[in-house]
């Protein structure tokens, strides 16, 4: 079960750690539609660390923001390679210390992309030391909002580990 209060607490800790370390972050989000950035900014002082964010719901938007079309063509929009390219593109665009990329399919298939598998999510976190990609399959959720929260929860767990390493 997705616990919104717990997820919000995770993001508050992450944001405070980033502020304390003077580390900046940016996101390029597809399936979460900006929710990661939103959760990061729910903590006072977050303007010191969030450089900006992209919501790239379509393939075209991803390409316009720096994801190579060849990556999407070769690996599909729902892939670790695309998530890594998203993390890299947003980090580069904003000159941030961390970039997060996330793409996936929530509860139904995407008619615009044949590689769509409901519940499959691909994410990546990039910093100066490299890019860590991870993927997971979501359990069915009661709404799109709950799917987004579930994805944000998994990203928070990964991000927490990376932020504490810096």
In the chain, what is the straight-line distance between the N-terminal and C-terminal CA atoms, in Å?
30
Helix or strand run (H / E) with residue 62: helix 59-64
pLDDT value at residue 1: 64
Distances from the Cα of 98 to the Cα of 2, 33, 64, 101, 112, angstroms: 25, 18, 20, 10, 30
Return the pLDDT at 166.
Answer: 64
pLDDT of 99: 98
> 4-165 in CATH: which number?
3.90.950.20
**Predicted local confidence at residue 76, as pLDDT:** 95
Q: How far is CA 26 from the centre of its chain?
A: 9
Q: Give 10-residue mean pLDDT values along the chain (166 residues).
A: 91 97 98 98 98 97 98 97 98 98 89 85 97 95 94 96 79
Residue 5 is predicted with a pLDDT of 97
Residue that has been written with the tokens 């729902």 in this structure: 78
Put simply, whether the predicted model's pTM sits higher than 0.85 gets the answer yes
Cβ–Cβ < 8 Å for 104, 151? yes
């Amino acid at each position: 079960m997705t616990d919104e209060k717990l997820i919000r607490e995770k993001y508050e800790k992450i944001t405070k750690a980033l502020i304390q370390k003077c580390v900046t972050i940016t996101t390029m989000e597809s399936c979460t539609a900006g929710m990661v950035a939103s959760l990061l900014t729910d903590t006072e002082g977050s303007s010191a660390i969030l450089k900006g964010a992209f919501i790239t719901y379509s393939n075209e938007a991803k390409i316009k923001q720096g994801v190579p079309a060849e990556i999407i063509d070769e690996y599909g929009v729902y892939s670790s390679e695309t998530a890594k390219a998203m993390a890299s593109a947003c980090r580069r665009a904003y000159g941030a210390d961390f970039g997060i990329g996330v793409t996936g399919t929530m509860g139904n298939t995407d008619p615009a992309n044949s590689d769509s598998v409901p519940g499959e999510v691909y994410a990546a976190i990039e910093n100066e030391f490299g890019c860590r990609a991870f993927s997971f399959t979501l359990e069915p959720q009661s709404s799109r909002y709950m799917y987004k929260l579930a994805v944000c929860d998994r990203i928070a767990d990964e991000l927490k580990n990376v932020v504490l390493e810096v």
